[in-house]
């Protein structure tokens, strides 16, 4: 296995024992990007010179015998929704084409303190709205396992970057599945932490009550490592909960005794691809072979998840995205006769179709005369969805199921059918609505060689348990060791 | 006032809270800083930033609400009010919609017809917007936006339509301003915009038509752009008369319920209201709970603590000053309380040393004028309360007359000396009865004829003797005592 195919922990070890420098690591990943990203198109913005500078500084620090952070010299690709001081942050939108934030997101600050190498900004669906990166205003990212297919979205660039070994680690954001779905479709590990586990400061909001930042990695141990770095309280985010962060790595290899796995019948309904289903069933058998109990549970309100999500998320988005009006931020139209036309033309030209669709949907859901029937009703059902999970977690440690109903679909296949696209998040959305923790790990491949993701859901702030459950499976299987041939 | 209609007014008041920093970020809130110098990514609403509530602002809000006798919600939340305007960078304002942190209070005001209770519907917190400066020359120049004010904490206080005259509206605002200043919530400077007021005005008219008598109500008008308490009164008066005329022209249709609420601007220069827009064109604000902020829970202990820290409120002070031992008139109590807590404390000290009525007179007749002249606050005033008390007492004991006492006061003020020293230095010798009797006997000797005339029944004749004594005392003798002693002496003389 070449260096770039290794995990972050392996690369860290190679640095610690002096076999490789941060600069050499950076050069090898930059070389991989140079060779393959023309085809994969994971990155929107990458600055090799700056990356090599960062790496040299880490090597210098090491040489001087200074204490080094947990991610010293490890490249981390960043979804372009996270603000990095002095670095273009476009959100995959023409609207923010020229936006250079004067501040770092909390997670970026944490990465810097951990001596990580900030390794470029990755492609995404515009404002994180989409499941394929086809809504990016710039280009569509390709799935490294089959470049005629989408990598998933909205964090498709980050997922593809890790899967294609262009970076060992990446950060994404997950509002309705935007980490887990692309992780599943790209055959890697992705985590949506509990709402409030990771600060949202500097994450350009799509839907504030649902958004969370999380890691993309090759395996569960790397995910635990990155989670340790980015989790924790931030006084700048009122919704970030002040709950101590355990060492996710410390107990990682300890299996959960008397593990009870909940399996929701609602996650195996119509629309689930048979190859995906059999892969998930096999995964459950792996757990059974380790002594886990499988318990059938019900999440009766989960069937409303997609409907609730497209009211709550769009309502919040309609307000969050109001600031992009060409006055203070964002694209400003040349066609401005008066204030109203300046606003509407700037927004009409700056936003893509899907973003416009969601802003209109959300504005409608909040409008007087409709708010009770749509937005407020959706909030009530959201509570019922959460209650379903609370009830379920009283009886089981984790809930397992498919991450997505199908493996990666073809580019363009669902581009003209928003509803079909929305349904690709059918299993991931309820986790965000309930604010619980969720992750996707590789659990098999289709006959065509496309990865399949196993979703593991856990109660709020039970990331440690979730990671250990994931690690149990990983130790019995080798899906996480496969790398696509580019 | 004798008008053929009754004015009905409700006031919406916005006050800026005296916090060091803004409501959701740590930018300063100093008035008059260079444009856009007190801003940060958070109050500029830059992509990715998040608000964090300023605890001090909430505390000040609680102080105000409790001083206004409001109920405090034990659970309150923040909402977004969505609308587009260039001085609102996020294009939504963080405010409170259906669960304000306080509601159902009142403020008592002293009016010409006695005390009146003005109900408070609600008081809630919100962030201020920036300021737009448009080219008013009409030549279509660029508009400029100053975002220093963006995010400054505001308390919106909505009164019930309990105000019945322009005068009462002014009294309400003065009382509110006094209260909020006294409890340290806001400096309430209308000129600087730290107190802003919109007035909702209509009138009730006793109207007789073929259908008999009825009370007709005119449509509501919300008056904006009121820049002083005086202009609030003038605008209400103007608007009431305008509505009465409008009703006279069209009594059938110019009615509450038939026409929608309109917004009018007050033009101070022209002394008239001008309709700005009809409310039916107003935006749908699409309020919803701000997902970036967490609800605020207020405990009973917190409420008690704030209540304890409020101290005596102006209305309580007024009541106390009218009761024993001060027993001031309602007017005097109002005037003193209106000058603030420090003045009242000063008064109490002077009154204890001397007497309340003299203390109050000295304050209102002399000290207020001196403070104004010297641009000083009472706590900077060089004549401290014990010295003023002493002056009053000396004046009484020595029989020093008002004009002379004023000279003593001016000397104390100019040279920073105490009352006794000033009296000494001015050569105002006290005249006891013996000294006075000497002078009186000498004057009788020198005016034998006048005394005899008096004895014969010419009462006026004694004035001449009295005048001579007064001259000799250089105005320092107490006239009543001199008169008494003179009469006694004259009585001893055989006719």
Can you give the pLDDT at residue B88?
Answer: 93
Task: Pick A368's closest partner by Cβ from B47, B86, B284.
Answer: B284
Q: Do A319 and B46 touch (CB under 8 A)?
A: no
Whether the CB of A268 is below 8 Å from some CB of chain B: the reply is no
Pick the last residue of a domain from B405, B426, B447. B426
Asked if B52 and A209 count as a contact pair (C-beta separation under 8 A), the reply is no
For residues A434 and B366, what is the distance between their CA atoms, to the nearest angstrom? 70
The answer, yes or no, to whether residue A277 has pLDDT greater than 70, is yes
For residues B411 and B221, what is the distance between their CA atoms, to the nearest angstrom? 56
- The DSSP symbol for B165 reads S
Can you give the pLDDT at residue B430?
Answer: 66
pLDDT (mean) for A199-212: 98
The contacts of residue B62 (CB under 8 Å, 6+ apart) are: B72, B101, B102, B298, B302, B303, B306
Q: Are B260 and B160 in a shared domain?
A: yes
Q: Are B238 and B266 in a shared domain?
A: yes
Can you give the pLDDT at residue B479?
Answer: 79
B305 domain residue, yes or no: no
The answer, yes or no, to whether residue A66 has pLDDT greater than 70, is yes
For residues B474 and B483, what is the distance between their CA atoms, to the nearest angstrom? 15
Confidence of residue B478 (pLDDT cuts 50, 70, 90): confident
User: What string of DSSP letters covers B12-52?
Assistant: EEEEE---SB-SSS--B--TTPPTT-S--TTTTT-TT----
Can you give the pLDDT at residue B194?
Answer: 95
The contacts of residue B465 (CB under 8 Å, 6+ apart) are: B440, B443, B444, B447, B450, B451, B454, B486, B490
A178 domain residue, yes or no: yes
Q: Do A375 and B288 touch (CB under 8 A)?
A: yes
For residues A369 and B69, what is the distance between their CA atoms, to the nearest angstrom? 35
- pLDDT mean across residues, chain B: 92
Interface test with B, best of A99, A320, A361 (most B CBs within 10 A): A320
Segment A359-369, tens digit of pLDDT: 999 999 999 99
Whether the CB of A319 is below 8 Å from some CB of chain B: the reply is yes
- The DSSP symbol for A409 reads P
B288-289 sheet: strands from edge to edge = B92-95, B79-82, B288-289
Q: Which of B105, B104, B96, B103 is nearest to B68 (CA)?
A: B105
Q: Are B216 and B250 in a shared domain?
A: yes
Count of C-beta atoms within a 10 Å radius of residue B32: 6
The answer, yes or no, to whether residue A28 has pLDDT greater than 50, is yes
Residue B80 parent element (H or E): strand B79-82
For residues A280 and A268, what is the distance between their CA atoms, to the nearest angstrom? 10
CB environment B229-264: b (16+ within 10 A), e (fewer):
bebbbbbbbbbbebbbebbeeeeeebebeebeebbb
Count of C-beta atoms within a 10 Å radius of residue B122: 19
Place of tokens 């199908």: A406
CB environment A152-168: b (16+ within 10 A), e (fewer):
bbbbbbbbbbbbbbbbb
Q: Are B365 and B254 in a shared domain?
A: no
Q: Do B284 and A367 touch (CB under 8 A)?
A: yes
Whether the CB of B49 is below 8 Å from some CB of chain A: the reply is yes
Which residues 63-92 of chain B have a CB within 8 Å of chain A?
A: 80, 82, 84, 86, 89-92
B336 domain residue, yes or no: yes
pLDDT (mean) for B45-72: 97
The answer, yes or no, to whether residue A108 has pLDDT greater than 90, is yes
SS3 content of chain A, % helix, strand, coil (to 5): 45, 15, 45
For residues B65 and B59, what is the distance between their CA atoms, to the nearest angstrom? 10
Task: Pick B47's closest partner by Cβ from A96, A238, A368.
Answer: A96
Segment A296-348, tens digit of pLDDT: 999 999 999 999 999 999 999 999 999 999 988 889 999 988 889 999 999 99
Q: How many domains does chain A have?
A: 1
Planar angle of CA B399, B403, B406, nearest 5 degrees: 95
The answer, yes or no, to whether residue B289 has pLDDT greater than 60, is yes
Count of C-beta atoms within a 10 Å radius of residue B160: 15
Q: Do B86 and A339 touch (CB under 8 A)?
A: yes
Q: Are B112 and B35 in a shared domain?
A: yes
Q: Which residue has the higher pLDDT, A230 or B208?
A: A230
Residue B17, both tokens: 């809270």
Interface test with B, best of A199, A235, A327, A382 (most B CBs within 10 A): A327
Q: How many domains does chain B have?
A: 3
Task: Pick B44's closest partner by Cβ from A203, A325, A328.
Answer: A328
Can you give the pLDDT at residue B143?
Answer: 86
Nearest-Cα residue of chain B relative to residue A89: B47
B302 domain residue, yes or no: no
**Contact residues, chain A, for B51 at CB < 8 Å:** 238
Count of C-beta atoms within a 10 Å radius of residue A375: 21
Burial of B93 (0-12, 13-18, 19+ CB in 10 A): buried
Asked if B489 and B448 count as a contact pair (C-beta separation under 8 A), the reply is no
Place of tokens 């007064």: B470
Place of tokens 């800083």: B33
- DSSP E strands, A47-140: 75-79, 117-122
Can you give the pLDDT at residue A180?
Answer: 98
Q: Do B89 and A323 touch (CB under 8 A)?
A: yes
Can you give the pLDDT at residue B237?
Answer: 97
The answer, yes or no, to whether residue B469 has pLDDT greater than 90, is no
Task: Pick B292's closest partner by Cβ from A208, A315, A323.
Answer: A208
Segment A135-148, tens digit of pLDDT: 999 999 999 999 99
A196 domain residue, yes or no: yes
* Residue A223 Cα, gap to closest chain B Cα (Å): 24
Q: Which of A210, A168, A219 is nearest to A28 (CA)?
A: A168
Interface test with B, best of A199, A213, A323 (most B CBs within 10 A): A323
- pLDDT mean across residues, chain A: 97
Which of A41, A79, A192, A414 is catalytic? The answer is A79
Residue A137 parent element (H or E): none
Residue B84, both tokens: 């587009």
Can you give the pLDDT at residue B33?
Answer: 94
Q: Are B76 and B201 in a shared domain?
A: yes
Coil, helix or strand at residue A263 = strand
The contacts of residue B203 (CB under 8 Å, 6+ apart) are: B5, B6, B7, B8, B217, B218, B240, B243, B244, B247
Q: Do A318 and B51 touch (CB under 8 A)?
A: no
The answer, yes or no, to whether residue B161 has pLDDT greater than 50, is yes
Burial of A63 (0-12, 13-18, 19+ CB in 10 A): exposed
For residues B288 and A315, what is the distance between their CA atoms, to the nearest angstrom? 9
Confidence of residue A250 (pLDDT cuts 50, 70, 90): very high
A12 domain residue, yes or no: yes
Model pTM score: 0.90
User: What string of DSSP letters covers A160-220?
Assistant: HHHHTTS-SEEEEEESSSTTHHHHHHHTSEEEEPPTTTS--TTB--SSTTT-EEEEEESSH
For residues A92 and A105, what is the distance between their CA atoms, to the nearest angstrom? 17
Which of A93, A154, A199, A440 is catalytic? The answer is A154
Confidence of residue B206 (pLDDT cuts 50, 70, 90): very high
Pick the last residue of a domain from B380, B397, B426. B426
- Please confirm, yes or no, whether A178 is among the known catalytic residues: yes
pLDDT (mean) for A180-193: 98
When computed from its CA atoms, the radius of gyration of chain B, rounded to whole angstroms, is 31
Interface test with A, best of B291, B295, B297 (most A CBs within 10 A): B291
Chains A and B: how many Cβ contacts under 8 Å? 97
Asked if B141 and B76 count as a contact pair (C-beta separation under 8 A), the reply is no
Q: Which of A280, A276, A251 is nearest to A471 (CA)?
A: A251
Enter the ipTM: 0.96
The boundaries of the domain holding residue B365 are: 312-426
Q: Do B286 and A238 touch (CB under 8 A)?
A: no
The answer, yes or no, to whether residue A41 has pLDDT greater than 50, is yes
Confidence of residue B280 (pLDDT cuts 50, 70, 90): low
Nearest-Cα residue of chain B relative to residue A207: B291
The answer, yes or no, to whether residue A107 has pLDDT greater than 50, is yes
A107 domain residue, yes or no: yes
For residues B198 and A272, what is the distance between their CA atoms, to the nearest angstrom? 60
Residue B21, both tokens: 């920093």
Q: Which of A123, A153, A89, A134 is nearest to A330 (CA)?
A: A89
Pick the last residue of a domain from B297, B323, B342. B297
For residues B66 and B234, what is the distance between their CA atoms, to the nearest angstrom? 31
What CATH number does residue A32 fall under? 3.90.1300.10
End-to-end CA distance of chain A: 15
Whether the CB of B134 is below 8 Å from some CB of chain A: the reply is no
* Residue A204 Cα, gap to closest chain B Cα (Å): 4
Q: Which residue has the higher pLDDT, B134 or A353?
A: A353
Confidence of residue B1 (pLDDT cuts 50, 70, 90): very low
- The DSSP symbol for A468 reads H
CA B182: distance to chain centroid? Answer: 10
- The DSSP symbol for A291 reads T
User: What string of DSSP letters covers A293-333?
Assistant: EEEEE--GGGGGHHHHHHHHHHHHHHHHGGG-SSSSSS---
Percent of chain A residues topping a pLDDT of 70: 100
* Bond into B131 cis (ω within 30): no
Q: Do B288 and A366 touch (CB under 8 A)?
A: yes
The boundaries of the domain holding residue A86 are: 3-255
Can you give the pLDDT at residue B3?
Answer: 75
Confidence of residue B281 (pLDDT cuts 50, 70, 90): low
pLDDT (mean) for A47-74: 98
A19 domain residue, yes or no: yes
Dmax over CA atoms of chain B, in Å, equals 107
Whether the CB of A100 is below 8 Å from some CB of chain B: the reply is no
Nearest-Cα residue of chain A relative to residue B83: A322
Q: Are B286 and B349 in a shared domain?
A: no
* Residue A208 Cα, gap to closest chain B Cα (Å): 6
For residues B48 and A147, what is the distance between their CA atoms, to the nearest angstrom? 32
B303 domain residue, yes or no: no
Q: Are B262 and B385 in a shared domain?
A: no
For residues A64 and B370, what is the distance between their CA atoms, to the nearest angstrom? 72
Q: Are B438 and B473 in a shared domain?
A: yes
pLDDT (mean) for A176-190: 98
For residues A327 and A195, what is the distance between their CA atoms, to the nearest angstrom? 32
Task: Pick B82's closest partner by Cβ from A200, A319, A325.
Answer: A319
């Amino acid at each position: 296995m070449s260096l770039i195919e290794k995990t972050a922990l392996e690369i860290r070890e190679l640095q610690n024992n002096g076999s490789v420098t941060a600069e050499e690591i950076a050069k090898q990943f930059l070389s991989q990007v140079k060779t393959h990203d023309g085809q994969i198109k994971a990155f929107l913005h990458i600055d090799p010179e700056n990356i090599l500078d960062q790496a040299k500084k880490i090597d210098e620090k090491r040489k001087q015998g200074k204490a080094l952070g947990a991610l010293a010299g490890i490249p981390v690709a960043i979804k372009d929704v996270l603000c990095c001081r002095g670095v273009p942050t476009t959100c995959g939108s023409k609207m923010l084409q020229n936006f250079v934030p004067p501040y770092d997101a909390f997670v970026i600050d944490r990465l810097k303190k951990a001596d990580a190498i900030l390794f470029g900004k990755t492609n995404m669906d515009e404002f994180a709205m989409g499941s394929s990166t086809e809504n990016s205003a710039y280009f569509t990212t390709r799935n490294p396992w089959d470049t005629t297919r989408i990598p998933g979205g909205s964090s498709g660039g980050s997922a593809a970057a890790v899967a294609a070994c262009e970076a060992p680690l990446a950060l994404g954001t997950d509002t309705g599945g935007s980490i887990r779905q692309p992780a599943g479709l790209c055959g890697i590990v992705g985590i949506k932490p509990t709402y409030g586990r990771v600060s949202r400061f500097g994450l350009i909001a799509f839907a504030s009550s649902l958004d969370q930042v999380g890691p993309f990695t090759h395996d569960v141990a790397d995910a635990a490592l990155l989670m340790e770095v980015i989790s924790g309280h931030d006084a700048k985010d009122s919704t970030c909960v002040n709950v101590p962060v355990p060492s996710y790595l410390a107990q990682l290899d300890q299996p959960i005794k008397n593990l009870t796995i909940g399996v929701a019948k609602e996650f195996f309904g119509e629309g689930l691809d048979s190859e995906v289903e059999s892969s998930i069933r096999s995964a459950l058998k792996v757990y059974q072979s380790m002594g886990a109990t499988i318990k059938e549970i019900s999440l009766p309100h989960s069937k409303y998840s997609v409907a609730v999500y497209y009211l709550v998320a769009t309502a919040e988005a309609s307000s969050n995205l109001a600031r992009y009006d060409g006055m203070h931020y964002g694209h400003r139209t040349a066609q401005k006769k008066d204030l109203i036309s300046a606003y509407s033309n700037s927004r009409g030209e700056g936003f893509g179709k899907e973003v416009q669709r969601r802003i209109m949907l959300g504005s409608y859901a909040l409008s007087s005369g409709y708010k009770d029937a749509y937005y407020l009703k959706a909030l009530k059902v959201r509570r019922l969805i959460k209650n379903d999970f609370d009830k379920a977690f009283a009886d089981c440690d984790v809930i397992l199921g498919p991450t997505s109903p199908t493996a990666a679909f073809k580019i363009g296949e669902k581009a003209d059918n928003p509803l079909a696209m929305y349904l690709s998040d059918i299993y991931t959305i309820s986790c965000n609505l309930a604010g619980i923790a969720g992750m996707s790990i590789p659990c098999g491949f289709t006959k065509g060689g496309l990865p399949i993701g196993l979703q593991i859901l856990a109660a709020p702030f039970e990331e440690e348990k979730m990671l250990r459950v994931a690690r149990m499976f990983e130790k019995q299987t080798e899906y996480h060791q496969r790398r696509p041939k580019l | 006032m004798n008008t053929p209609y009754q004015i009905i007014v409700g006031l919406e008041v916005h006050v800026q809270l005296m916090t060091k920093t803004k409501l959701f970020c740590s930018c300063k809130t100093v008035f008059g800083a260079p444009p856009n110098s007190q801003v940060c990514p958070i109050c500029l609403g830059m992509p990715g930033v998040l608000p964090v509530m300023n605890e001090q602002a909430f505390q000040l809000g609680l102080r105000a609400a409790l001083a206004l006798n409001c109920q405090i919600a034990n659970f309150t939340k923040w909402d977004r009010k969505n609308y587009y305007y260039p001085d609102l960078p996020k294009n939504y304002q963080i405010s409170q919609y259906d669960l304000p942190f306080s509601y159902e209070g009142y403020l008592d005001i002293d009016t010409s017809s006695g005390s009146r209770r003005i109900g408070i519907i609600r008081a809630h917190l919100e962030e201020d917007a920036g300021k737009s400066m448009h080219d008013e020359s009409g030549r279509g120049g660029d508009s400029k936006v100053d975002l220093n004010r963006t995010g400054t904490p505001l308390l919106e206080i909505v009164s019930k339509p309990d105000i019945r005259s322009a005068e009462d509206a002014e009294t309400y605002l003065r009382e509110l301003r006094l209260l909020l200043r006294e409890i340290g919530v806001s400096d309430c400077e209308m000129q600087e915009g730290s107190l802003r007021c919109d007035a909702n005005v209509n009138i009730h008219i006793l109207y007789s038509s073929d259908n008999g008598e009825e009370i007709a109500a005119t449509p509501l008008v919300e008056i904006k752009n009121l820049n002083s308490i005086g202009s609030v009164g003038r605008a209400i008066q103007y608007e009431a008369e305008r509505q009465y005329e409008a009703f006279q022209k069209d009594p059938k249709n110019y009615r509450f319920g038939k026409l929608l609420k309109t917004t009018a601007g007050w033009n101070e220069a022209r002394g008239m209201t001008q309709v700005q827009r009809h409310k039916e064109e107003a935006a749908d604000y699409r309020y919803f709970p701000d997902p970036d902020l967490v609800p605020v829970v207020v405990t009973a202990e917190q409420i008690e603590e704030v209540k304890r820290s409020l101290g005596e409120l102006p209305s309580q002070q007024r009541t106390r000053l009218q009761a024993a031992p001060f027993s001031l008139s309602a007017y005097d109590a109002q005037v003193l309380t209106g000058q603030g807590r420090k003045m009242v404390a000063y008064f109490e000290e002077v009154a204890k040393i001397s007497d309340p009525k003299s203390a109050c007179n000295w304050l209102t007749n002399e000290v207020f004028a001196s403070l104004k002249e010297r641009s000083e606050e009472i706590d900077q005033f060089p004549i401290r309360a014990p010295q003023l008390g002493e002056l009053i007492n000396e004046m009484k004991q020595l029989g020093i007359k008002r004009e002379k006492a004023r000279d003593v006061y001016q000397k104390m003020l100019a040279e920073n000396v105490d009352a006794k020293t000033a009296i000494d230095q001015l050569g105002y010798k006290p005249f006891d009865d013996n000294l006075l009797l000497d002078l009186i006997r000498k004057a009788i000797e020198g005016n034998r004829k006048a005394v005899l005339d008096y004895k014969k029944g010419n009462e006026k004749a004694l004035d001449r003797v009295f005048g001579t004594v007064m001259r000799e005392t250089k105005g320092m003798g107490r006239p009543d005592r001199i008169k008494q002693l003179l009469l006694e002496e004259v009585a001893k003389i055989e006719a």
